[in-house]
Structure 1
Amino acid sequence: MRTEDLPVVDCAGDARRRGQAHGEALRGVISAKVERWREAIGEAYAMSASLFLPRFLEATDFRAAIAQHTPDLADEVVGIADGAGLPEETAYALQLMDEEWWWGRSNAAHCSSLAVAPSDGLPALVAQTMDLPRWHDGAQALLKIRDGNHESLVFTSAGMIGLMGVSGRGLGICVNTLSQLAVNPRGLPVAFVMRGALTRGSVAAAGDFLVRVPHASGQNYQLGDRSEARTFECSAGGAVQVPFSNGCSPHTNHPLISTDRRDETVRMEGSEDSRGRLHSLQTDIAATPDVAAVKAILAARRPGGIVSITPQSAALTAPMTIGSVIYSLGENVELSVCAGPPSHESWREIIV
């Protein structure tokens, strides 16, 4: 998708109405995406979606954790189903991206992220590439979530409650998968953790939420606000905070601190690709990076450390960067968003 074509969907009111607005505005996009998703399941798992999805949903039960910790988001998913004309079960399964990956033993996860703590009058920065299978391309959207007096901008793949977001109160959240870490088939899925944390309004409150909830999936959460930035590695065993180095926290798809290993077969040191992207981030982070510098960091394509990923085949499951965000969390909260690989696509600047 071209950044200039990225839709911004106004989702106001209670949770059900927010979901309905999302579903109605993107109905055609969601319908086409669901068809690609079902085809991609067969490509990824050598099993038809009609067999895979019922088995996946029968083997897991995230609904109780969702109802306990983010009940409004359960209503929002029902609203998406209503607005998009989807069965509720399909809309629910569509939220479980990371959970589908670990249950199906997929290697789809990528994403490179970083957080920069505020210092010397410079704002905190939180940023990432969102790297997903190619079938998500064309479904990118920005949700303008208006809940009472609070407003957030949430980057998503149509039909999902969100992938990463920033609030007008000055809290930004980015994420990346840590498939090596322990999972919980009855925990809180990543999309719900991210949106639930985003409502907390500050890094301290969002961090408390991450520590408190049961996590379904291994995931890194980069948090920033006007006063601080923190990074957490979360898994079924809990949340651990990752220390910053020189005010920065780069991260890719292997744990740096957590030892909550999923099983004895996983490589905690991560893949060569994940290590290469981390090295690229570490190499490019300047002493005082600004938004322009972070854009260049996310666009890097050095051999062995390709941060901005372009699809290398026509396969639906081929990885690519479907979007990137940078949150500048100063007196003004500013979002820079790109709807494709930032090495090839333009950016849009939005005041939140």
Structure 2
Amino acid sequence: MSNDPPKVDLRGTPYEIGFSHGQILAKQIGRQLQIYQNLFQETCKLDWPQVLETAEQFRSAAATLVPDLLEEMQGIADGVGREDVSLVDIIALNARSEIALGKWDDGCTAIAWKVGTTGKQIIAQNWDWRTTVGENLAMVSIEREGKPKIWMVTEPGIVGKIGFNSASVGVCLNAIRARPISTSLLPIHLLLRIALECHTVSDAIATIESLGGAASSQHILIADAWGGRGLELSPCGGVYLPEDEDGIIVHTNHFLANKLVDEPPWLSGSPVRLERARKLCKEIIREEGRDRLGQTVDAPLLRRRIFSDTVNSPQAICCSPDISRGGLARIETLFNIIMVLGEGKEPYAEVVFGRPGAGGESAPLMMPW
């Protein structure tokens, strides 16, 4: 990528945060709305008025459960400054995974790793999505009184995505295709934001449970300075995956333990990526030696050894576009993020935009910046 994504600092009340978001990223939000209008029409046979009807139902859930985030989304809509962009349009962006009813086939490979005995916690992923979205991504910080400061990589218009906070809580996301969907619960992007407003993993789990869980089946990989958990969430209940004997959780795009939903097989590469990522982690442990992991396992090593991997391409850990699919349907790795958390240490992340190891990716960008 020739141009680095914008870095946007947001602070103030929920409405002020949203208004600045919408104002600064108005051009990108407009492009996102056009992309998703086309995607819903092509893949779900839904025109935009039908999408907005479902978004209106999520407005009611947000008003009841997270009125502050609804206020922030109102600010985004107002900040864009276009008569044809309303609050419900912004809700549709934030609920796009749920409104699609599991008809989209995004990827993503995520890893949480409590590294050795050094107190270093890594949480990382490749985010795979429609190629056309890549030019619109932004790096955002959010400061709100009484809450940890947040840094995340997001799609403009969306209030919660992949990132970490000043309390050393980090989140990654894996999409799951399963039924049912519940419009009385919160979309996954709102739950990601809620998790990023928490001080510990256990606090995030308790908060998500108090809100009734997720509106759709999704996996949030979450970690703090003391370890990670894999949150296999659904409207029917959640299952929380522990670390393995090496302090590792690996997740792709199918549930490993949550049997509460109807999950038909849908992404053939997901089990392949899961086993491949596990195998590569084991190889690193064997080759580096357990006693040295805390010193040697870092962002450059993980990008080189795991997140650049192209086995089973195009559905590889480093996903490449399938040339047999039309332009709008093509999916690839749009960014890699590797977050480093630790007790008593300042959390940070390295982000590479584009496909890591492919030659056209950005230089690593730091968060905080």
- TM-score, reference length from structure 2: 0.86
* Residues 1:276 and 2:272 are matched in the alignment: yes
| Residue 323 of structure 1: how far off its partner (Å) | 1.9
1:238-277 mapped onto 2 (5 Å cutoff)? 238-245=237-244, 246-262=246-262, 266-267=264-265, 271-277=267-273
- What is the Cα deviation at residue 282 of structure 1? 0.8
| 2:346 maps to 1:332 | yes
Q: State how far apart, in whole Å, the 2-side matches of 1:92 and 1:262 are.
A: 26
Shift of 1:195: 0.3
- Secondary structure (helix, strand or coil) at the match of 1:113 reads strand
Measured after TM superposition, the shift of residue 224 of structure 1 is 1.2
Higher mean Cα deviation, 79-88 or 127-136?
Answer: 127-136
2:356 is aligned to: 342
CA contact (8 A) 1:117 1:228 kept: yes
For residues 230 and 152 of structure 1, what CA distance do their matches in structure 2 show? 20
Deviation readout 1:104-151 (Å, 9 max, x if unpaired): x41322111111125411410111112122231211001110112631
Whether 1:65 aligns to 2:64 is no
Q: For 2:273 and 2:108, how far apart are their aligned partners in 1?
A: 9
- Contact 1:40 / 1:135 at 8 angstroms: preserved in 2? no
1:1-352 matches, within 5 Å, as 1-2=1-2, 4-50=3-49, 52-57=50-55, 61-85=57-81, 86-102=85-101, 105-148=102-145, 150-180=148-178, 182-214=180-212, 215-245=214-244, 246-262=246-262, 266-267=264-265, 271-285=267-281, 286-287=284-285, 288=293, 289-296=297-304, 297-303=306-312, 306-313=316-323, 315-330=327-342, 331-344=345-358, 345-346=361-362, 347-351=364-368
Counterpart-to-counterpart distance in 1, 2:301 and 2:47: 44
Residue identity matched to 1:75? E
Amino acid at match of 2:133: H
TM superposition shift of 1:218: 0.6
- The alpha-carbon deviation at position 249 of structure 1 amounts to 0.4
Report how far residue 158 of structure 1 moved.
Answer: 1.1
C-alpha distance in 2 between matches for 1:47 and 1:224: 36
Cα contact 1:180–1:254 (8 A) shared by 2: no
- Contact between 2:59 and 2:91, CA under 8 Å: does it hold in 1? no
Whether the 8 Å CA contact 2:179–2:216 is kept in 1: the answer is: yes
Match of 2:289 in 1: none
> How many equivalent pairs are there?
342
Please, which runs of 5 or more residues in structure 1 have no aligned partner?
A: none
Q: CA–CA distance in 1 between the matches of 2:96 and 2:46?
A: 17
Equivalent residue, structure 1, for 2:290: none
1:95 maps to a residue whose letter is N
**Paired letter, 1:180:** A
1:119 and 1:203 mapped to 2: Cα distance? Answer: 20
SS in 2 for 1:31: helix
Query: What amino acid does structure 2 have at the position aligned with 1:224?
Result: A
How many Å apart are 1:283 and its aligned residue? 1.4
Alpha carbons of structure 1 residues 154 and 124: separation in structure 2 relative to 1, 3 Å: same
- Report the residue type matching 1:290 in the other structure: D
The one-letter code sitting in structure 2 at the alignment partner of 1:164 is I
What code does the residue aligned with 1:343 have?
Answer: G
Once residues 294 and 213 of structure 1 are traced to their aligned partners in structure 2, the CA distance between those partners, rounded to angstroms, is 35
* Range with greater deviation from structure 2 (305-314 or 168-177): 305-314
Q: For the residues of structure 2 that align with 1:319 and 1:236, how far apart are their CA atoms?
A: 27
CA distance in 2, matches of 1:26, 1:54: 21
Q: Is the 8 A contact 2:187 2:215 kept in 1?
A: yes
Q: 1:135–1:317: 8 Å Cα contact kept in structure 2?
A: no
- Kindly provide the amino acid, as one letter, of the partner of residue 187 in structure 2: P
Moved more, 106-115 or 73-82: 106-115
Contact 1:11 1:21 in 2 (8 A): yes
**Structure 2 CA distance for partners of 1:274 and 1:23, relative to 1, 3 Å:** same
Alpha-carbon RMSD across the aligned residues, in angstroms, is: 2.0
Alpha-carbon spacing, 1:271–1:33, altered in 2? closer, same or farther (3 Å)? closer
| Counterpart contact for 1:77–1:161, Cα < 8 Å | yes
Query: Does 320-329 or 116-125 show the bigger shift?
Result: 116-125
Instruction: Identify which range, 253-262 or 116-125, moves more after superposition.
Output: 116-125
Contact conserved, 2:151 with 2:367, CA < 8 A, in 1? Answer: no
Contact 2:55 2:95 survives alignment (8 Å): no
The 8 Å contact of residues 58 and 95 in structure 2, kept in 1 or not, is answered as: no
Q: Once the 2 structures are TM-superposed, how far is the Cα of residue 272 of structure 1 from its aligned partner? A: 2.0
Shift of 1:183: 2.7
CA distance, structure 2, for counterparts of residue 65 and residue 172 of structure 1? 25
Whole-Å separation in 1 of the counterparts to 2:169 and 2:46: 40
